[in-house]
């Protein structure tokens, strides 16, 4: 068997699993529903049982793998392998995942937050083209991000680096879940775009089907706003000009610090594709430093569902370069010809 890691993408609805080779091939993948009942107490046991069953079905043992990488929501302590406050998993207290999985399977386990892990996946096999300097911005229910600089994930002193969703774009803007105001997340996430549209609709004087929907308090989504913009609804276009302005300035500020080869936009909102870039790019070019503008490109993510498991697998291979325990495990595995 080729050098293989197990990648896990833990989410509030599903747990995605995959076997990932060193060259980034996915040789097996499967999904389990996330058991969030009973305070999420069955999540780690479910992961263990699923891994054991799958190995058994293929006649494999933990010794056939390099290690396990996982992306999780919540506040992740990468060193300790713990997650705190992952509310969509019903984990309100600190959960010691690394300890539980390593002792059950006797395999090195590497944990990081889900946005960082998706960033690694996109950098490696997606729109990042395996370049050493890539920034990933995920525009979903919230806005998250991950920074890869010189081939390494930037974690900061406490693991909180890459909180791109909380870049300030409007000093007196909407309140944010973080306690601040005017964060990118409040105007560029799927929910933020809708909130922005609702606020703007009150002062819109023109004729717009979208503005009428909002004034009649009908359910509107970010997707509907993009669809209406595609049909040239003037209010939808106005809202997306604003969104593009906020995202463009945030991306320019990121690029002015890091000068990555690409800033990759992912998450549900990025499904708008070229239309999203159409609104963001002019503002990015307006605010980016001249030589940064020439060398940093804005792109749409290409991986969708597999970014998380690929990035989780890559976490293991990256850890082999730096972590003594993982290195020893791999050396033993290679000696025994497993």
Q: Could you list the residues that contact Zn ion (CB under 5 A)?
A: 166, 176, 178, 180, 183
Question: Distance (Å, rounded) from C-alpha 142 to C-alpha 152?
Answer: 24
Residue with smaller CB distance to Zn ion, 72 or 186: 186
Q: Minimal distance in Å, beta carbon 165 to Zn ion?
A: 6
Residue with smaller CB distance to Zn ion, 45 or 180: 180
Q: Minimal distance in Å, beta carbon 241 to Zn ion?
A: 22
Number of neighbours of residue 204 by Cβ within 10 angstroms: 18
Q: Minimal distance in Å, beta carbon 178 to Zn ion?
A: 3
Q: Minimal distance in Å, beta carbon 158 to Zn ion?
A: 17
The set of residues, in sequence order, having a beta carbon less than 8 Å from that of 312 and lying 6+ positions away, is 5, 6, 7, 8, 9, 18, 20, 68, 69, 70, 71, 112, 117, 120, 121
Adjacent-strand bridge partners of 168: 183
Question: Distance (Å, rounded) from C-alpha 43 to C-alpha 31?
Answer: 13
Residue with smaller CB distance to Zn ion, 114 or 237: 114
Which tokens hold the place of 89? 């998993």
Residue with smaller CB distance to Zn ion, 113 or 208: 113
Residue with smaller CB distance to Zn ion, 185 or 233: 185
Helix or strand (DSSP H, E) at 77: strand 75-77
Compute CA distances 218 → 209, 214, 272, whole Å: 11, 6, 22
Adjacent-strand bridge partners of 110: 69
Q: Minimal distance in Å, beta carbon 142 to Zn ion?
A: 9
Sequence length of the chain is 338
Number of neighbours of residue 24 by Cβ within 10 angstroms: 15
Q: Minimal distance in Å, beta carbon 184 to Zn ion?
A: 8
Q: Are the C-beta atoms of residues 115 and 9 closer than 8 Å to each other?
A: no
Residue with smaller CB distance to Zn ion, 178 or 215: 178
């Amino acid at each position: 068997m080729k050098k293989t890691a197990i990648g896990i993408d833990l989410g509030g609805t599903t747990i995605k699993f995959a076997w990932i080779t060193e060259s980034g091939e996915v040789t097996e993948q499967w999904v389990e529903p996330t058991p969030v009942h009973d305070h999420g107490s069955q999540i780690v046991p479910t992961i263990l049982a699923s891994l054991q069953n799958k190995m058994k079905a293929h006649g494999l043992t933990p010794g056939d793998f390099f290690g396990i990488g996982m992306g999780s929501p919540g506040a992740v302590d990468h060193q300790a392998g713990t997650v705190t406050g992952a509310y969509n998993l019903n984990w309100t207290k600190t959960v010691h995942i690394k300890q539980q999985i390593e002792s059950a399977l006797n395999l090195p386990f590497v944990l990081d937050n889900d946005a960082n892990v998706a960033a690694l996946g996109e950098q490696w096999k997606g729109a990042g083209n395996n370049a050493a300097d890539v920034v990933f911005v995920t525009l979903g229910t919230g806005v998250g991000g991950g920074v890869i600089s010189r081939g390494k994930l930037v974690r900061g002193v406490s693991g909180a680096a890459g909180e791109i969703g909380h870049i300030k774009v409007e000093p007196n803007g909407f309140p944010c879940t973080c306690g601040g105001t005017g964060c990118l997340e409040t105007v560029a996430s799927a929910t933020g775009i809708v909130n922005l549209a609702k606020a703007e609709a009150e002062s819109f004087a023109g004729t717009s089907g979208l503005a009428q929907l909002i004034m009649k308090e009908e359910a509107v989504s970010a997707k509907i706003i993009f669809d209406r913009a595609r049909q040239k609804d003037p209010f939808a276009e106005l809202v997306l000009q604003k969104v593009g302005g906020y995202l463009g300035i945030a991306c320019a500020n990121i690029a002015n610090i890091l000068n990555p080869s690409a800033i990759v936009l992912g998450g549900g909102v990025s499904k708008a594709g070229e239309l999203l870039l159409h609104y963001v790019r002019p503002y990015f070019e307006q605010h980016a430093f001249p030589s940064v503008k020439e060398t940093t490109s804005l792109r749409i993510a290409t991986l969708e569902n597999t970014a998380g498991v690929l990035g989780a697998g890559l976490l293991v291979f990256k850890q082999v370069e730096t972590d003594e325990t993982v290195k020893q495990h791999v050396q033993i595995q290679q000696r025994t010809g497993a």
